[in-house]
C-alpha cells in the first residue's frame, strides 16, 4: 500500500517541476493568451498550470506540447529530448532526491508514451493521448506489473476508439 503522505509530496514535486518547465516555455513564447487559444483552453487554465495550481488533462498536455513545439515526454517529466528533433536539454529540471515511487511513476509515463509511439506511430495524436492515459491507468492499477501483451491490447483498444 502506498504511503499517502509520500504520495502527496511526490505529486507536489511533480507539479512544481512541470510548472517550472511550462513557465520557462511561456516566457519564450508569445504570451499565455495566444497559447490558450491554440490549445483550446481558457487563459486562466494556462495560468493555473503555470503556477502549479493544477495539471493539464492528457489531451490538453498533448495540445500544449504541440503548440509549444516540445516533446510530450519532456513536458510531462523533463526527460528525453526537449524538442521533437533536438538534442536532450541539459537544463531539464530534475531532482535526484525524488523518492523511488515518484521516479517509478515517471518511468511508467515514459514507457506508456514509448509503447504508444511504437504501436500507433501513424495514429492521430488525440488517439495516442488516450492510449497513453489508458496504459498509465493500467500500470497504476497493477502497480507496474501489467505484462506486455496486456499493455498492447490496451493500446490497440484505445487507438481503435
Q: Is 7 strand, coil or helix?
A: helix
d(CA 59, CA 67): 12
Rounded alpha-carbon distances, angstroms, from residue 60 to 55, 68, 98, 101: 9, 12, 26, 25
Tell me the per-residue pLDDT of 91-123, one tens digit each, with 9 for 90 and over: 444 444 344 455 567 777 777 888 888 888 888
Tell me the per-residue pLDDT of 30-59, one tens digit each, with 9 for 90 and over: 678 888 888 899 999 999 999 999 888 888
Return the half-sphere exposure (C-beta side, CA atoms, 13 A cut-off) of residue 5.
Answer: 0
Is it the case that residue 88 has pLDDT exceeding 80? no
Q: Is 101 strand, coil or helix?
A: helix
- The fold of the 7-77 domain, in CATH, is 434 Repressor (Amino-terminal Domain) (1.10.260)
Domain boundaries, the chain: 7-77, 100-160
- DSSP label of 142: T
Burial 41-71 (b: 16+ CB within 10 A, else e): beeebbebbbebeebbebbbbbbbbebbebb
Which cell is 117 given?
509511439
Amino acid at each position: 500500500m502506498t504511503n499517502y503522505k509520500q504520495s502527496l509530496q511526490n505529486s507536489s514535486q511533480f507539479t512544481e517541476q512541470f510548472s517550472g518547465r511550462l513557465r520557462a516555455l511561456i516566457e519564450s513564447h508569445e504570451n499565455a493568451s495566444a497559447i490558450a487559444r491554440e490549445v483550446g483552453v481558457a487563459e486562466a487554465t494556462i495560468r493555473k498550470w503555470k503556477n502549479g495550481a493544477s495539471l493539464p488533462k492528457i489531451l490538453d498536455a498533448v495540445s500544449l506540447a504541440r503548440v509549444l513545439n516540445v516533446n510530450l515526454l519532456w513536458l510531462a517529466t523533463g526527460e528525453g529530448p526537449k524538442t521533437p528533433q533536438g538534442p536532450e536539454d541539459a537544463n531539464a529540471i530534475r531532482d535526484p532526491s525524488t523518492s523511488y515511487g515518484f521516479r517509478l511513476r515517471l518511468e511508467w509515463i515514459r514507457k506508456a508514451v514509448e509503447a504508444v509511439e511504437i504501436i500507433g506511430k501513424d495514429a492521430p495524436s488525440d488517439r495516442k493521448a488516450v492510449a497513453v492515459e489508458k496504459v498509465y491507468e493500467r500500470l497504476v492499477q497493477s502497480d507496474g506489473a501489467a505484462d506486455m501483451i496486456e499493455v498492447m491490447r490496451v493500446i490497440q483498444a484505445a487507438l481503435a476508439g
